[in-house]
Amino acid sequence: MSVLVFAESTGGALKKAAFEAVTYGYKTAQVLGTDCVALTLGEVENPGQLGTYGASKVLTASDLTLNDFDGQVYTDVIGQVAEQIGATVVILMHSSTGKSLVGRLSARLNAGSAPGVNTLPTNDGAFRVKKNVFSGKAIAQVEISSPVKVLSVMGNSFQPETVGAEVSAEGVSVNVPARKVTVKEVNRVKGTVPLPEAELVVSAGRGMKGPENWAIIEEMAEILGAATACSRPVADTHWRPHHEHVGQTGVAIRPNLYFAIGISGAIQHLAGVNNSKVIVVINKDPEAPFFKAADYGICADLFDVVPKLNQALKDFYSNN
Amino acid sequence: MKLLVCVSKTPDTTAKISFNADHSEFNEEGIQFIMNPYDEWYALVRAIELKEAAGGTVTLINIGPASNDQIIRKGLAIGADDAVRIDCQPKSSLFVAKQIAEFAKEGGYDMVFCGKETIDYNGSEVGGMVAEYLGQPFISYATEMTLDGTTATIKRDIEGGKETIEVATPFVLSAAKGLAEQRIPNMRGIMQARRKQIDVRQPVAFDDLSTVVSYEMPPAKAECKMIDPDNMTELVRLLHEEAKVI
């Protein structure tokens, strides 16, 4: 019996979300009175650091064919490791890779699943976790009754904690099946923060009047080290790329700070962002529904306010 | 070419969410139901486009009660050829996937399409589960897809970017924004849909391994603090000292 965490890597590097998942795995293992084992796939730099975040053991399957993602192959390999170590809980990140694996792995292991959890499991005889449903408009408590459980943990719900020390990673012996998917090309947006992982997000809507006015938004994102996002009408009219669209039919995010600039706050947009820790709304319409969901509001013309805010932010960062 | 498209019923995106008195069930009263947008706008339309280009059939599958027939009829009006409904009230993704896989196995489909997630439970699980039961590749978050004989070239969303992959049929695909453009059913489609068959079947036995036991609403937000537009230094101070987010 143990908790197995698949710690995802990108281009051989482990990122913050992987550390979050390991800390979540460590805490889950504590609840269940067992150990947390982390697994990396493909060539990964310094997997032993996962010990710091709570893995008592780090296993690596470094077969080169695992450098590129193939859901069928990954599922099989993670499934084999879960069986080898007798894992009762398998934890994934709720990233696009994790989300592509959670269902498949639960079918493979005949395990009940809960995707996108944001609480630790209960330990009162029943295994229950909570997750957002209806695109963040409600929370569901899910009970898993099977001996093996598969969870994916929502990003930014648990912060990585230094609870242990580095360990030396051990190679694990697995049978890597032949790939059926060939990766031809990978294009990652360079130099910017990927939206689903961003802790700070600057988002703008139709109030911007046109794509040519986005310089002030990009400037603000640069000062903050934030990701940029937009509302659906903005993506639909191609003012901004589709991958920036947050909302019910776009990306759902939960950053620490969300700036909504010139976005009225339709229910579908709120559904994708209302789990942000702090929301700042800038809108010239005092009746904009977004103010009801905001922590801080500025009712003014964004073209006046945003340059002033950018200056205030610059001053802040140069003094801190 | 035989294509199977999985469609599910979800509350309309503007629906006000509430629960019954003991918070154990979603309150359906006054709720407008729609076909899950990812299933309808992207998965179904791309499947119909492939059929229009290369010939073949598009079959819809839905797991649910008779009231789901209105959603299925819309799918038929958009251009699917026929449909099957597995008559039950599903409670878990694994149960749904099992029903789809059992049906798909006997049909020998070249491709199974579903939406990237439903907008109610947001699980993104069913496609991967179906693929695992069928022993086929699962291509998630597809935003572009072309088919050359039996080889598909697919662009998909990954963390912070896009990936282009190649895969041979048969496979399961989940559709994201970009894969196709939404189609509105026309009068001819609606008339034809009335004559198309919905094959109603009984589910295969399968025990739920996970169930929702209760619901709650997110904690209410405190009142919004309004800031003087001429004092952005104050906002920055509050974000730093009070909210502690910068």
Chain A positions in Cβ-Cβ contact with residue B209 (cut-off 8 Å): 106, 110-113, 144-146
What the block records as the tokens of A244 is 């920036």
Q: Contacts of residue A117 in chain B, CB cutoff 8 Å?
A: none
User: What confidence score (pLDDT) does residue A109 get?
Assistant: 98
Residues of chain A with CATH 3.40.50.1220: 195-319
Domains in chain B, number: 1
A184/B106 Cα distance (integer angstroms): 32
CA distance from start to end of chain A: 48
What pLDDT does B185 receive?
96
As a whole-number percent, the residues of chain A with pLDDT over 90 amount to: 85
Would you state the structure tokens that stand for residue B49, as one six-digit string?
């486009």
The predicted pLDDT at position B190 comes to: 96
- Distance, in Å, from the CA atom of B160 to the CA atom of B165, rounded to the nearest integer, reads 16
Quote the CA–CA distance of A216 and A222 in Å, as a whole number. 10
Return the closest-CA partner of residue B133 out of B113, B112, B168, B105.
Answer: B105
B138 contacts A104? CB cut-off 8 A: yes
| Residue at B242 is within a domain | no
Q: What is the domain range of residue B134?
A: 2-215
Cβ contact (<8 Å) for A315 and B216?
A: no
Q: Which residue has the tokens 């790939």?
A: A179
B59: CATH: 3.40.50.620
Three-class DSSP category at A296 = strand
Question: Which one of B159, B164, B235 has the shortest CB-CB distance to A296?
Answer: B235
Instruction: Give which of A88, A94, A95, A90 is closest to A77, Cα–Cα.
Output: A90
Q: At A258, is the pLDDT very low, low, confident or very high (cuts 50, 70, 90)?
A: very high
**Yes or no, beta carbons of A139 and B217 under 8 Å apart:** yes
Residue B131: closest C-alpha in chain A: A104
B150 domain-assigned: yes
What is the ipTM score, two decimals? 0.93
Q: Is the domain A2-171 a CATH 3.60.20.10 member?
A: no
> Which amino acid is located at B31 in the chain?
I
Evaluate whether residue B74 is within a structural domain: yes
Would you state the structure tokens that stand for residue A16, as one six-digit string? 């913050």
Q: How far apart are CA B124 and CA B102, in angstroms?
A: 20
| Residues of chain A found within 8 Å of residue B120, distances taken between Cβ atoms | 133-135
DSSP state for residue A246 in the 8-state scheme: B
Whether the Cβ atoms of residue A54 and residue A40 lie closer than 8 Å to each other: no
Contacts of B243 in chain A (CB under 8 A): 257, 277-278, 295-296
Label residue A114 by pLDDT band (50, 70, 90).
very high
Name the residue with tokens 């799918």.
B75
Query: Is the CB of A137 less than 8 angstroms away from the CB of B93?
Result: no
Instruction: Examine residue B240 and state whether it is found in any structural domain, yes or no.
Output: no
Q: Which residue of B has its CA nearest to A192?
A: B160
Say if residue A250's pLDDT is above 90. Answer: no
Predicted pLDDT of residue A191: 62
pLDDT at B103: 98
Cis bond leading into B170, ω under 30°?
A: yes
pLDDT, averaged in runs of 10, over chain B (246 residues): 97 91 93 96 98 97 97 98 97 97 97 95 95 98 96 92 96 96 96 95 97 91 92 96 94
Q: What are phi and psi of A132, to 5 degrees?
A: -75, 140
In this complex, do A103 and B97 lie within 8 Å of one another by their Cβ atoms? yes
* CB-CB contact of A69 with A49 (8 Å): no
Question: Is B209 among the domain residues?
Answer: yes
Is A316 a residue whose pLDDT tops 80?
yes
Nearest to A267 among B14, B129, B160 (CB): B14
Q: Tell me the backbone φ, ψ of residue B108, rounded to 5 degrees.
A: 60, 55
Both structure tokens of B138: 């699962």
pLDDT, tens digit, 9 for 90 and up, residues A125-182: 899 999 999 888 899 999 999 999 999 999 888 999 999 999 999 999 999 999 999 9
The C-alpha of A4 sits at a distance from chain B's nearest C-alpha, in angstroms, of 19
**Nearest CA to CA, how far is A170 from chain B (Å)?**
27
Strand partners, B9: B35
CA A196 to chain centre: 5
Question: How high is the pLDDT of residue A190?
Answer: 67
Domain presence at residue B223: no
- Report yes or no on B238 lying in a domain: no
Residue B95 domain-assigned (yes or no): yes
Expressed in angstroms, the distance from the first to the final Cα of chain B is 55
- Assigned fold of A195-319: Rossmann fold (3.40.50)
Residue to mutate among A113, A144, A313, with most B CBs inside 10 A, is: A113
B113 CA to chain A: closest CA distance, Å?
14
Which ranges in B114-159 belong to alpha helices (H)?
126-134
Question: What is the tens place of the pLDDT at every residue in A166-214?
Answer: 999 999 999 999 999 999 999 887 666 778 788 999 999 999 999 999 9
Which backbone phi and psi does B195 adopt, to 5 degrees? -95, -5
Asked if residue A22 lies in contact with residue A55, where contact means CB atoms within 8 angstroms, the answer is yes
Q: How many Cβ contacts (< 8 angstroms) between chains A and B?
A: 277
- Residue A256: its chain B contacts at CB < 8 A? 245
Query: β-pairing, A278-283 with A257-261?
Result: parallel
The answer to whether the CB atoms of B128 and A107 lie below 8 A apart is yes
Reduce the DSSP state of residue B226 to 3 states and report it.
strand
